[in-house]
Amino acid sequence: MSLAIFFAFILSLLLLASNASLVSKFETNTSTPSTPCNPIQISRGEKLEATNVLIAGNSTISGINRIFNLGFVSLGGNSSWYLAISYASIPTPPIVWVANREKPITNLTSTRLEITAEGKLAIIALPSSTVWQSTNTEKARRLVLLESGNLVLFSAEGLIVWQSFDFPTDTWLPGMNITSETSLISWRSINDPSPGLFSLRINPQGFNEFELVYNKSARYWSTGNWTGNAFNGVPEMTIPYIYKFHFSDPFMPSASFWYTERELDGGLRPPLTRFQVAVGGQLKQYTWTQQNENWNMFWSQPENQCRVYGLCGNLGVCNVTSLKPCVCVSGFSPVNDHDWESGDYTGGCVREGRGSCEKSDGLMEVGVVEFDGATIVPFVGARSICERTCLSNCSCIGLFHNVKTNLCKNLYGSLLNLRTLSSDSTFQDVLYVRVPKEGIVRKGVSKSVLLIGSIGGSVVLLGLVAGMLLILRKRRKNAKGVQGDGVFPGLNLKVFTYKELFTATRGFSDKLGHGGFGAVFQGELEGEKVEKWFFPPYAAQKIIEGNVAAVVDDRLGSAYDIEEAQRVALVAIWCIQDNEEMRPAMGMVVKMLEGVVEVTTPPPPKLLQALVSGESYHGVQIDSDKGVCIGGDCCGDNAGVYSFGSPSSLGNASSPAK
């Protein structure tokens, strides 16, 4: 597939996505009581009266120095709304705190954030239903959204009567205390902030370490004991760092842990950072890279996601090398397809067909694996006796059998997170899972699903080397194939000289922005005809239909691999997923493009759906003939769209927004 075609398509999508990402999730600052040019800012010096309406509809409160915003947000395009704190002036800003995570709002137009007669902060659904309210017992008279992201209520005497830092959700910010009474709890899914099954807490037994737990009980990772300046299981903490860690009263019920920022040379602040208990159960630390305008995840635990207890649920197979980490054992399917599509696999798998067991059931060999959960009942016996004992009891979900020792282990309960063992493991018991007769596959087929995760690093290395050699070979071939008139034979792709580009761009004077491959300039080429239809909508429609061949330039003839084209298109769609956690890292992208990792079909992102339907996407109107139009005025004809308290000028479809 032509690299030029691939990059042109990706660039078009990324330019649209970057434009669209600058328009607020909240559609903020466009309605009463705030205006685009005068967002609400509430500080210590401003008095709050009872029944004061702080937020109505899509308006927001801007925090000190406009680091954070407070407002109502809808996730995943559904009809549920939440009061949330998020970063300001950052494209696609992460949400760091949610007030009503267990009780979403269904009608935003009749909802207000206000101060009650008792001096509490409350979400009110008109006419008088309280959706959520703060728990302060003393009347609040002042409110401030601090630069740290902490939403604070003050009494008339200036004392803190309530603060959001005492009620964390899934995110840990600098200055936030985690105590024996508080914990970080993951979201249920990427579009559902209700409490999930994974949490980070101080060990309630010794108060000397942090631990990640599943369903408030099953521990699957810990920091190790506190040594006085670090946790012994986190050696990175001993390295001089841009953050300081503090542990007050370790080994006591009053234990409290927090971290603060170190001032850099010249009085500069370190980059924005946050810890998060992700939907997938890992504890991750992100820092904001201003140069690339991207969140960089440089630390996570457990490093192997398949070590997260219960990640794939009952009879789910965990594969750390796959873009989607969980699949079901043959003969089983997800309990809830919607949850699996949204990244929540904990519901596990259920057997296909009717009933939980049948007389015709059989046992399918899975291989030598590890798992979580399940009650084991061991006894000595031949495999035939082992199988007969299990199949005669509907509660038996499978068995282990060791042919050398004749040791049988019948399994009851739930088999969570099936995963292959490391190459140095001495465990020899083979797992057999109870499946419907039609779900039994020949020996080795189900193993292949698990063995994907155990492919050695040598294979990956060989793939990378082969890929580099292929790229170098193509470059040499292309370099030799350019004709004297600057046209690639067979493709009719013009190679422009520097002089032509300098003239067309008026001396590179009209810079539109900066992309991943450098600066982007606007120019006009004489004698060049522009197609009258906009390519991305056409390409989006064909890719959604699965007809990738229609997107490939027909001048290539048969000089391309359709499977490679399909793979490239799928990778492109994964890279522009609405949720950043679903987008693969660059290392994974390389493996996917090389074919080392299987590329599954991604859910169509909203941008592609908008391209096909012509509907607006976060305020960006897509038109198949005209391209992209930005709707709405803000503070005059020359102002940009106001987003999260920061004005941003938006250009046309070929303009990457900054």
How do residues 296-315 score in pLDDT, each as one tens digit?
A: 888 899 988 999 999 999 99
Q: How many CB atoms lie within 10 A of CB 226?
A: 20
The whole-angstrom separation of Cα 409 and Cα 400 is 5
DSSP codes, 418-440: EEEPPTT----PEEEEEE-GGG-
The whole-angstrom separation of Cα 355 and Cα 74 is 39
Same domain membership, residue 214 and residue 142: no
- What is the extent of the structural domain holding 81? 26-167
Residue 473 in any domain: the answer is no
Of 619, 549, 550, 543, give the one whose Cα is nearest residue 576.
543
Same domain membership, residue 2 and residue 44: no
Residue 237 in any domain: the answer is yes
392 SS3 class: coil
Residue 215 in any domain: the answer is yes
> What are the pLDDT digits (tens) for 181-223?
999 999 999 999 999 999 999 999 999 999 999 999 999 999 9
Residue 445 in any domain: the answer is yes
Same domain membership, residue 190 and residue 153: no
Half-sphere exposure of 38 (CA within 13 A, CB side): 4
Q: What was the pLDDT predicted at 445?
A: 36
Contact call for residues 523 and 505 (beta carbons, < 8 A)? yes
Answer whether 0.85 is exceeded by the pTM.
no
**What is the Cα Rg of the chain in Å?**
28
Number of domains in the chain: 4
Contact call for residues 42 and 145 (beta carbons, < 8 A)? yes
Same domain membership, residue 287 and residue 182: yes
In the block, tokens 């509430």 appear at: 42
Least confident of 245-249, 389-393, 521-525: 521-525
CATH number of the structural domain spanning residue 182: 2.90.10.10
Contact call for residues 545 and 566 (beta carbons, < 8 A)? no
Residue 559 in any domain: the answer is yes
Top pLDDT among 237 and 288 is at: 288
- Would the CA dihedral through 115, 121, 125, 129 be positive or negative? negative
Residue 75 in any domain: the answer is yes
Q: Which of 26-40, 303-317, 642-656 has the highest mean pLDDT?
A: 303-317
Top pLDDT among 465 and 303 is at: 303
Same domain membership, residue 151 and residue 224: no
Top pLDDT among 469 and 652 is at: 469
466 SS3 class: helix
Same domain membership, residue 175 and residue 161: no
Residue 479 in any domain: the answer is no
Same domain membership, residue 272 and residue 225: yes
Same domain membership, residue 219 and residue 130: no
Q: Which of 454, 486, 502 is the last residue of a domain?
A: 454
Q: Which of 404, 425, 454 is the last residue of a domain?
A: 454
Same domain membership, residue 45 and residue 5: no
Q: What is the dihedral of CA 452, 453, 455, 460, to 10 degrees?
A: 100
Top pLDDT among 266 and 340 is at: 340
What value does the mean pLDDT of the chain take? Answer: 75
Q: What is the dihedral of CA 192, 197, 200, 202, to 10 degrees?
A: 140
Q: What is the mean pLDDT of residues 338-362?
A: 84
Same domain membership, residue 139 and residue 80: yes
The amino acid present at 229, given as its one-letter code, is N
Same domain membership, residue 389 and residue 281: no
Q: What was the pLDDT predicted at 439?
A: 60
For residue 272 the two structure tokens come to: 């924005």
The amino acid present at 450, given as its one-letter code, is L
Of 496, 504, 469, 498, give the one whose Cα is nearest residue 594.
469
Angle between helices 562-575 and 586-594 (to 10 degrees): 160
**Helix (H) or strand (E) run with residue 339 in it:** helix 337-341
Q: What is the mean pLDDT of residues 624-638?
A: 36
Q: What is the mean pLDDT of residues 121-129?
A: 91
Residue 129 in any domain: the answer is yes
CATH number of the structural domain spanning residue 368: 3.50.4
Same domain membership, residue 17 and residue 110: no
Angle CA 75–275–91, to nearest 5: 45
Q: Which of 167, 197, 220 is the last residue of a domain?
A: 167
Q: Which of 22-36, 442-456, 528-542, 557-571 has the highest mean pLDDT?
A: 557-571
